Structure 1
């Protein structure tokens, strides 16, 4: 019998990241039907696939397989972005929804708008 919590989590993590089953199955180098079977709890992925999914979503095996999905786990990103971890203590930074919204708006803004934001923040910090 397949792991029902894993199946629920696979679907929720995929949707939270905005991935389609087709896009994710291409990334994993499997058929869309094979991936669909994992989300429908018809089959469990092998250990190698589970490791790749944990790396993609930046979660532990326990978080993916056992724990119920938690929206805060999807704040992690890869690529050109930096993880929100403070280097000296290795603590994660938890963001409020308004902070996430601000970051997303910043990313979508023009370079001129970003420059104005930096100028505003620099002047605000200088006055403290």
Structure 2
């Protein structure tokens, strides 16, 4: 998925999303929830509290 597509789906600008990816800006909790929902992962995974373990 392109950055613009993700930004549109989570209702932020492409520049804001780019800054999240580059660790130049931290998203608000509501944005983190939208990202987690979009990728169907937990908030713990999004914030690095657990390692990604793909299903076998």
Q: What is the TM-score when the length of structure 1 is the normalising length?
A: 0.39
The residue aligned with 2:7 is 25
Question: 1:71 deviation in Å?
Answer: 6.4
Q: Say whether residues 1:62 and 2:55 are aligned partners.
A: no
* Runs of 5+ consecutive residues of structure 1 not aligned to the other structure: 1-18, 73-93, 96-128
Cα-Cα RMSD: 1.5
Q: 1:28 to 1:41 in 2, by over 3 A?
A: same
Aligned residue-pair number: 55
C-alpha offsets along residues 39-68 of structure 1, whole Å, 9 cap, x if unaligned?
000011000001111111111111110134
* Runs of 5+ consecutive residues of structure 2 not aligned to the other structure: none
**Bigger Rg, structure 1 or 2:** 1
| Moved beyond 4 Å, runs of 4+ | none
Q: What is the TM-score when the length of structure 2 is the normalising length?
A: 0.83
The residue aligned with 1:43 is 25
